[in-house]
Amino acid sequence: PSAQIIDGKRIASERANVLRKRVTKFVAVNGAPPALAVVLVGSDPASAIYVRRKGEQCQAVGIESIQHRLPHDTTEASLLYLIAQLNRDAGVHGMLVQLPLPAHIGADKVLAAIDPDKDVDGFHVTNAGQLALGKPRLAPCTPLGCMLLLRELGTELRGKHAVVIGRSTIVGRPMAQLLLIADCTVTIAHRHTTDLAALCRAADIVVSAVGIPALVRGDWIRPGAIVIDVGINRVPDPRSGTGATRIVGDVAFEEAVGHAGAITPVPGGVGPMTISCLLENTLQAAELIEGRLAGTLG
């Protein structure tokens, strides 16, 4: 048996078509497009690629992209000053600070400075708290993207046992919260979990967000289970021999595809959905902000 491959790229591009129409409507009502400000500090090459892609994807659906690229030696104070400006700027509806930040800048302090209503990454304590209360407002994009993929499969989530591997604040924890809201029974595993294999074998849904290639083996996957692989790991490409690399997930895909009912590929699974959810969060923030402005004026 071979699993259904969940085509995140196709699903994201279908969602982009819908989003483009919603953005057009937003422009017709408000006279200007939703705008997303992205702040990048330093020149980490992976971060630079992510930021560029976010800009391109915004433009592809008609969202205005404002990018602030700051040098590595930017002080925490001047970054906080920029965030305060963006908070006040009525033309900016969403903002995010690309992580990781240089070590001399306190990421917690920076994230706390972002207006929760503009916090399209969903990392502000207020938004994390809302999610933990089961009343999400702006939720983190990667877990949201995973939920959309699960919904797309059309299988009932209620009562399913979901095992989330990884407890980061960016993926694992919010993922577990969203699965709980969807009425799953949720287990969170992390580096101190003792028998991860046994845990996975009991799962209807496995979501891995760890950053270790081939951590999850094929025989850990119950026949027919759903596997969502959030990992993005760069490894040497054995087929090339010229020092070239390729991107793989946390799951040994070739093994797992023979056990799972459905599985996301890496790349082309969760990745495209993350950006899709960022754009949708931006439109949601913009509709909220503009709706409130219209309410106070009219």
Catalytic residue at 54?
yes
Chain residue at closest Cβ approach to ligand ADP: 168
Q: Does residue 167 belong to the site contacting ligand ADP (CB under 6 A)?
A: yes
Pick one of 196, 200, 205, 225: the residue that binds ligand ADP (CB under 6 A).
196
Is 226 annotated as a binding-site member? no
Q: Which of 57, 98, 130, 284 is catalytic?
A: 98
98 is catalytic: yes
Residue 82 or 101: the one with the smaller Cβ distance to ligand ADP is 101
CB of 87 to ligand ADP, least distance (A): 26
The distance of closest approach from Cβ of residue 279 to ligand ADP in the complex, given in angstroms and rounded to an integer, is 20
Which of 172, 261, 271, 272: binder of ligand ADP (CB under 6 A)?
Answer: 172
Alpha-carbon span 74 to 83, nearest angstrom: 13
Q: Does 234 bind ligand ADP (CB under 6 A)?
A: no
| Residues of each annotated binding site | 166-168, 232
Q: Please identify every residue annotated as catalytic.
A: 54, 98, 121
Q: Which residues contact ligand ADP (rule: CB under 6 A)?
A: 165-168, 170-172, 189-191, 193, 196, 209-212, 230
